[in-house]
Structure 1
Amino acid sequence: MSDSLPETDAEWRARLTPDQYRICRQKGTEPAFTGAYWDEKTPGQYRCAGCGEVLFDSATKYDSGSGWPSFWQPARETVVAEEVDTSHGMRRVEVHCARCGSHLGHVFPDGPRPTGLRYCINSASLTLDPADK
């Protein structure tokens, strides 16, 4: 992926699939148990679908039972940014790509050790870069 980021809505629409655009740029979500990576076991790195930034490593992926890919920590602390989300009548913490702002999903305090966090991420927000390439 290019180092430059789209600047206009039209450029984002051209870069992303319609589903990726709806989720990454409009803060949508995919139905549970439908995304490409919710049950993926391939070792590798998960990159942002919007800009290609490495966001998560498969070594931190686990089966949360939620139906979305879940990780207990980002690849680096600085690659994922957070903000409070009060949509849908509840208070959650949204996570997005710190580089391009693409919506990824939410983080919850009910994950496994060592962090106790569950980064619940939409598959459409990610691309998998397999380790055996």
Structure 2
Amino acid sequence: MNRLFLLVFLSFSLISCNGNAQKSEKKNSENYEVSKTEEEWKEILTPQEYAVLREAGTERPFSSELNDIKEPGTFVCAACGNELYRTKHKFMSGTGWPSFDRAIEGGVAYGSDTKLGYQRDEVHCARCGGHLGHVFNDGPQETTGKRHCINGIAMDFEPEEEK
């Protein structure tokens, strides 16, 4: 019974995250430094990246290779290269998505969605408006108390250059 409940819950969670949150941003895409038509985004993004970044989708938990990255570096937007997060603010949340206790100042913007029946704080790239994930108040209490739960497919990793 517990397996069935978990399967139904995960299925609902993944489906419900593929909503209309990006529609208002698509209409206001000119508010971002990087602005492209949906056709242009489809040309430069993979179908999976497009589903998350432009349609507010959610990747499967534990599917991102970025979950295991611990080396120093910067996580950047997969759509525009904007710097979003640093490895030093990453932590293992056990949720299945890369998690950070804070973003790089000016790297992300925030909105809200109610697709699951309650309000959540949504995280977007401040440069192109791409959907990244959500912020929750269950992060490490010894730092910010925040958990930026971010889709790995929405980011690329740039290792810190050795000097």
After superposition, residues 113-124 of structure 1 pair within 5 angstroms as 113-124=142-153
How large is the RMSD of aligned CA atoms in angstroms?
1.3
* Deviation for aligned residue 1:6: 4.7
After superposition, residues 36-75 of structure 1 pair within 5 angstroms as 36-75=65-104
The superposition leaves residues 32-86 of structure 1 with CA deviations (integer Å, 9 ceiling, x where unpaired) of 101121222222100001110100000000001111000000011x211111110
Larger Rg: 2
Q: Give the number of the structure with larger relative contact order, counting CA–CA contacts within 8 Å between residues 6 or more apart.
A: 1
Number of aligned residue pairs: 129
Q: Which residue of 1 aligns with 2:39?
A: 10
Residue 99 (1) aligns with residue 127 (2):
yes
CA–CA separation in structure 2 for the residues paired with 1:43 and 1:17: 26
* Deviation for aligned residue 1:10: 1.1
Q: Normalization by structure 1: what TM-score?
A: 0.91
Q: Do the aligned residues in 2 keep the contact of 1:6 with 1:12 (CA within 8 Å)? A: no
Query: Matched residue of 2:70: which SS?
Result: coil
Q: Which residue of 1 aligns with 2:159?
A: 130
CA–CA separation in structure 2 for the residues paired with 1:131 and 1:57: 10
CA–CA separation in structure 1 for the residues paired with 2:131 and 2:138: 20
Q: Which residue of 1 aligns with 2:10?
A: none
Unaligned ranges ≥5, structure 1: none
* Deviation for aligned residue 1:114: 1.6
